[in-house]
Structure 1
């Protein structure tokens, strides 16, 4: 009797038979390794096979997404797995896209599973097109069409080609608000970032509709009403319609304003653990006032912040309005639950592989075993960030097990290179070609000490310098430093005057922290000056006749600095102020002093626009046997760092003989108003490029009469003004500063320079 065939498909009950597996064979594999299939199979050799087992095998392999077809067969006692692999994606070509970069589109496709090298799934085609349309809709391209083409390739691969026809950008034509009575449309539409197209839309993109933008504007509208007492305000409907040609979008918002509610009473409820008389001043509400959600929320946050400063790390403050709609009044109750006072158990540092723990700990304002203070913790983080040693500073406050009233503080830092080796070539219109080399280690051997060696040279200046600073010479944060330098200055190249100086300096300096953002400094300086008087300068010749050529001077230098900027490169808020004075002590060859005040404040106007105000004032004079400050120590004005639109250092008094060279002045007054914004292109340029529109003013004066000086005396009418635009760019090869200025009130003898730039310097 013949035996029936052992080649049996095990997926149907009529042909199924139970047997013990002696081996497993996989057929049909091309790219996927057999081991991968074995890892997914729910059976092994020596297992018994039944219908349920084979069904599990098929479901499991299908679920991997690697195969289009799976069959299970029997060959004797060998389990045979027959598969047909899905093709792999060899390449993805996207054509026709201009508004959105190809890499951005591919990133979106990758998130839904379509990427080169992955298994191709035809079910993803619809999702692909939907995802691309979504990205284009977000960019305002509602007329976009997307067509996908799949091309089979050798070795079971496919090529994916996606053709995009973008069409025109759909613009927001009009926003209509209906149902408003208390406020007119113009007032309400000012609350919206979206709006109809206008001249500035190319920059603000306010006319590019997006669902997320509209949702944000509607929440702003809701807050506008709630902050003015309209507790029952509602947005009843929102309709968005697109014109048939898909060029224009119309938005209609229907609102129900409701009534205005006033505050009838204010209550503190709960156990605040802090005297109520300390909390009530933080509540900026008054009985009889119109209810404001913003003021109410801000008051609750101030109470919570005060409790956090007092050690109640987990305080909970909720503001609950009790509404009486008949009287149109509301009772505002602040429920205060401070919880237990929290103490700091340990402060742990991690991530500082080079920087010593003590360098971080000395910046901490929050101490171990003390009350937990959110304010001290915030200040500690800011101080660590200002060190400049770290890319990132994170703080975690986990609870201590079995101690509900204690927390640990874990400080995590991500170190960045704290040493700079700079060697380069640059150019400045005021100083010519610049060669510079400097080695700076801000965190020398992880100690937080700063060491600098520099060599710089230009047509007008040469500088050699070595400096060292220990910011924690004492545990109280008093710093001590040394500064040795030698500088030569050719004033003929610098301002066109026929004289030069060689200056050597040795300085010992100290500074004392006054607050977290301010320091007071004191320095003792020895300065040797050799003065070279040219034959074409009567002023220089007279100075040598009166005072000689070599001078040994000893200075006392005092300063006060306050730096609250949020960034040292492109600040958006805060400011930098510095007041300094240097005085030669009696017995010096030249007896004089210089006072200088310089400040720059930054005020954020919007998320993109920042207003800057700069002030620069300086005054110097002589005393004792020196009638006036040496003229080669004068202040100068004009140029990129002063009044733009004039050639650098050319404003102010001039010599009365020769070629009437500028000589600067002993009094300086200047400043600037400037509006900054990042470029509208977006991307990385927002961090490296800044545009500005400015108004500069300033000049210098020689306040005393002098026979060899033209234009002595102080007169505010001598102020020079200019206006223009500026560009600052942190390029990959160096810092670049450009300005185009129009001198408003230039005189005949002024040396104007409308376009100015510098490259390879800090600004």
Structure 2
């Protein structure tokens, strides 16, 4: 049987070889001179495209080799599904069958990804409207789409590609997606830990088995990238505590049969804990050994800390970069004494070659103009590479606030070992913000504030903002615009115009009004990379309208300042000596901000100081203020913050201090739990009233403390936080009013304090702060002396605002 099968196989092979040889002989064409070239089968492709790609021309000698090359050249265009060449009387007839053209690419059922983003991604790889349809490319797109869904824990996602032919050899391409439910992490375990409990280690992970807030944080949705980040956090936790030889042996991710649940097991080996015995320097340090030694943060005698080693080697590399050595290599080599659990570190340095920057390229800015980014760069083209300037440039671009991510990469220039290119890539974010604020009180029920701003108008980097306040006591309309580069040197210019109508808080409705209108211009001059000095001048007018002329509804202090008199028997205002005053305020300020984030700071300081002087007109005064914020990272989960504000103001030139320039306190951004701007001295109550208008004061002192923690069930998500706070402060009068009793004066001079809890959420509309405060030090109503009543503080326990901080 085997012999018969062998003979049959040999006969079959012989027949195939003979057939191939005869076919080759039949298709072989004797070389000839091409008399003409014709093209058949074209529908949309221009004939010129064919003739430009053919390696043959009329008059050339045709042979089989050149024919094969012609067919390959036409296939390489990617426009044709089939290409043939016929020869008729020395005329080449090129017969083509065009690929269908894609008329439309659509996605059905995609909820996890934005449809426009998917279309843009396919367009970049050649799968877009008007392009030739390529089935292989469509298949790869389908598989890539599935992989993207797997990265979002949607393991059951199904993608079906539908190709629908339409007229004129075109097709519609539709990706129909059935996403299914995401796979959830059911459990996470760490095996091999001895020094730290499993609970302590799992608290470091951003991914977990979920809680009641998982619908928001999605912390129980598996992501390989997030798991890798968690493993690096785990590694860092051990290495910074002396476990030099810590290693992650394996990571096992098991999925349930229904592909809905995942379990993660991390196997680790802790190793022994080591102490640093010493640090040595070896290699070429450019003759600046002492300068490099000052950068060493590794401390002998303390447990080995991997972060300190990384910080030191990075500091060395960056310092080499300041001298133009972009490719300096610094390695920390440990000499381990396992008997005594000690390690000696040798820092070996090789500066390599000095280079300069040839070109700076910007990418990712679809809206923001290149100029807005480039003008923040302190590393210039055609100058020596400087690591400090590159880092500073990156930070300055990030501080613009227009981007969610800013990266700078150094790229070697092929063939030029002394040159590099810098590639800065940015990811833009929406720069329009909406600010909303609300509060509830017995006086005006619900008060609202509204603001809209665009920090990057038309991609120019300019700011434009509109503020509106609909409060019954304070109506505001203001418009502000800022050009951060009014001059090429980075001097900013801000214009502002405003119109406000206010009535101080009062227990009885009155119809008096204080109208303030004017404008100002302000310039910001950068004196260093971190310090900015501001200079400004304005023109403003204050106009007092006593309304219905009912004296007891009009604050006594305002009537006194504007020289208003009233009939003692009827209570009607008879006249005001000065119903309006005007002034020319000059201002100078300073700011420094080195926080790591403007939205969710965890470390760093923010300082501001300002001085305003009434230099012209009817108002002669000066008003100064200083604020200080600092953030302390306790751990990855907890941040402690303090905030302090002081202010002092005084009149000069024998003029009364303009009461409407007072400082105010109370509410969010001040002492929470009290109505906004309600603390401090009160106006003299008349006609049996027990409460007077809140006047503010010429002195201000505020202190706040906050402890920010993860929101219960939200894991380590930083966009949603819970915080506890303690506030204390008040505003005070500069001198005692002779109409006040001792008890009234002492009540006004006392500090107010509150404690409470709040929620901080980085919402789509901006940072939202919700606070519930309990006053622990407040003024109760005291009617012991009816002629000098002491009013109670106005309490507002629940307050929230969008677009505020602290």
Q: TM-score range by the shorter chain?
A: 0.7 to 0.9
- Map Cα deviations across residues 705-738 of structure 1 (whole Å, 9 max, x no partner): 434347322655533556545678896xxxx887
Residues 21-69 of structure 1: CA deviation (Å, up to 9, x unaligned): 1222121122222222223322222222212222222233233332222
* Residue 151, structure 1, aligned to residue 164, structure 2: yes
> Cα deviations across residues 305-337 of structure 1 (Å, max 9, x unaligned)?
455557766654321223455765543211134
Provide the C-alpha distance between the structure 1 equivalents of 2:292 and 2:626, rounded to a whole number of angstroms: 40
Question: 2:497 maps to what in 1?
Answer: 455
| 1:615 counterpart = 2:644 | yes
Taking the TM superposition and a 5 Å limit, the aligned residue runs for 1:150-299 are: 150-274=163-287, 276-287=289-300, 289-299=302-312
Cα distance in 1 for partners of 2:136, 2:356 equals 56
Give the TM-score taking structure 1 as reference length. 0.73
Contact 2:722 2:757 in 1 (8 A): no
CA–CA separation in structure 1 for the residues paired with 2:123 and 2:417: 47
Alignment partner, residue 592 of structure 2: 562
Counterpart for residue 685 of structure 2? 657
Compared CA separation, residues 491 and 720, structure 1 to 2 (3 A): farther
1:669 paired with 2:701, answer yes
State the partner residue of 1:524: none
Q: Secondary structure at the match of 1:458?
A: strand
Aligned-residue offset at 1:79: 0.7
Give secondary structure in 1 for the equivalent of 2:146.
Answer: helix
Superimposed CA distance per residue, residues 647-699 of structure 1 (whole angstroms, 9 cap, x where no aligned partner): 433223323332422222343232445689999xxxxxx99x99986745543
Q: Which residue of 1 aligns with 2:432?
A: none
**Matched position secondary structure for 2:52:** helix
SS of 2:264's partner is strand
Matched, 1:634 2:662: yes
Q: Write the distance in 1 (CA, Å) between the matches of 2:210 and 2:678.
A: 46
Whole-Å separation in 1 of the counterparts to 2:96 and 2:625: 83
Residue 762 of structure 1: how far off its partner (Å): 12
Q: 1:191 to 1:569 in 2, by over 3 A?
A: closer
Give matches, 1:569-588, under 5 Å: 574-580=604-610
**1:168-216 CA deviation, whole Å, 9 max, x = no partner?**
2111111222233343322332333222112343343321112222223
Deviation at 1:739, TM superposition (A): 5.8
Pairing partner for 1:120 from 118, 133, 142: 133
CA contact (8 A) 2:587 2:613 kept: yes
Equivalent-residue separation in structure 1 for 2:628 and 2:122 (angstroms): 50
* Equivalent residue number for residue 33 of structure 2: 20
What is the distance in 2 between the residues matched to 1:697 and 1:603? 20
2:732 to 701, 707, 727: 701
RMSD: 5.8
Q: How much has 1:294 moved relative to structure 2?
A: 2.6
Question: What does residue range 355-504 of structure 1 map to in structure 2 within 5 Å?
Answer: 374-375=387-388, 417=460, 426-429=468-471, 432-437=474-479, 443-444=485-486, 446=488, 453-460=495-502, 461-467=515-521, 469=523, 471=525, 483-488=537-542, 490=544, 498=555
Aligned pair in 2 of structure 1 residues 95, 438: CA closer, same or farther (>3 Å)?
closer
- Once structures 1 and 2 are overlaid, which stretch shifts more, 669-678 or 229-238? 669-678
Kept in 1, the 8 Å contact 2:356–2:385? The answer is yes
Taking the aligned partners of 2:165 and 2:757, their CA distance within structure 1 comes to 63
**Match for residue 62 of structure 1 among 55, 66, 75:** 75
1:243 CA displacement: 0.8
Q: State the partner residue of 1:333.
A: 346
Larger RCO: 1 or 2 (CA < 8 Å, sep 6+):
2
Q: Partners of 2:407 and 2:243 in 1: how far apart?
A: 42
Q: How far off its partner does 1:133 sit?
A: 1.6
Measure, in 2, the Cα distance between the counterparts of 1:220 and 1:591. 59
Judged with a 3 Å threshold, the aligned counterparts in structure 2 of structure 1 residues 593 and 155 are, in CA distance, closer, same or farther, namely closer
Structure 1 residue 718 corresponds to structure 2 residue 765:
no
- Contact residue 425 and residue 433 of structure 1 kept, 8 A: no
Counterparts of 2:170 and 2:735, CA distance in 1? 88
- Residue 566 of structure 1 contacts residue 574 of structure 1 at CA under 8 Å; is this kept in 2? yes
Cα deviation code 1:550-608 (max 9, x no counterpart): 999999988654343567788775433234567899xx999976553323345678999
Q: Distance in 2 between matches of 1:261 and 1:604?
A: 26
Residues 538 and 584, structure 2, Cα contact 8 Å, conserved in 1 = no
Give the alignment of 1:301-312 within 5 angstroms.
301-308=314-321
Q: Distance in 1 between matches of 2:259 and 2:422?
A: 56
Aligned residues between the structures:
701
2:14 alignment partner in structure 1: none
Preserved contact between residue 539 and residue 583 of structure 2 (Cα < 8 Å): no
Residues 328, 349 of structure 1: CA spacing in aligned structure 2 closer, same or farther, 3 A cutoff? closer
Cα pair 1:604 1:610 within 8 Å, conserved = yes
Instruction: State the shift of 1:228 in Å.
Output: 4.1
C-alpha deviation, 1:449, in angstroms: 5.4
Contact 2:769 2:801 in 1 (8 A): no
Partners of 2:403 and 2:263 lie apart in 1 by 49
Task: Note if contact 1:643-1:722 (Cα within 8 Å) is conserved in structure 2.
Answer: no
Q: Distance in 1 between matches of 2:483 and 2:592?
A: 23
Check conservation: 1:499, 1:532, Cα contact below 8 A. Answer: no
Superposed, which structure 2 residues align to 1:534-545 within 5 Å?
A: 535=566
The answer to whether the 8 A contact 1:737-1:757 is kept is no
Runs (5+) with no aligned partner, structure 1 = 1-9, 503-528, 680-685
**2:86 partner SS:** strand
Q: Are residues 243 and 421 of structure 1, via their aligned partners in 2, closer, same or farther at CA, if it must alter by over 3 Å? A: closer
Distance 1:607 1:159 in 2: 50
SS where residue 483 of structure 1 aligns? strand
Structure 1 residue 81: Cα displacement: 1.3
CA contact 1:58–1:71 (8 Å) conserved in 2 = yes
Task: Tell me which residue corresponds to 2:676.
Answer: 648
C-alpha deviations, 1:335-393, integer Å up to 9, x for none?
134568x799999999xx9999xx989x9799x99x98644675588679989999999
Q: Deviations over 1:452-477 (max 9, x none)?
A: 55431122343323436484999xx9
User: For residues 423 and 256 of structure 2, what CA distance do their matches in structure 1 show?
Assistant: 57
From the superposition, tell whether residues 24 and 200 of structure 1 become closer, same or farther in structure 2 (CA, over 3 Å).
same
> Who is 1:514 aligned against?
none
> How far 1:491 moved relative to its partner?
8.9
Q: Is the 8 A contact 1:600 1:615 kept in 2?
A: yes
The 1:703/1:441 distance shift into structure 2, 3 A limit, reads closer
Partner of 1:459: helix, strand, or coil?
strand
Tell me the TM-score normalized by structure 2: 0.69
The Cα of 1:438 is off from its aligned counterpart by 5.4
For residues 35 and 41 of structure 2, the distance between their equivalents in structure 1, rounded to whole angstroms, comes to 20
Counterpart of 2:26 in 1: which secondary structure?
Answer: coil
1:50-129 pair list within 5 angstroms: 50-110=63-123, 113-129=126-142
Report the Cα distance in structure 2 between the residues aligned to 1:38 and 1:206, rounded to whole angstroms: 59
1:73 CA displacement: 0.5
C-alpha separation in 2, matches of 1:496 and 1:643: 28
Structure 2: which 5+ residue stretches go unaligned? Answer: 1-21, 363-368, 427-455, 503-514, 712-716, 782-791
Residues 324, 356 of structure 2: 8 Å contact kept? no
In 1, the alpha carbon distance for the partners of 2:46 and 2:684 equals 92
Moved more, 482-491 or 18-27: 482-491
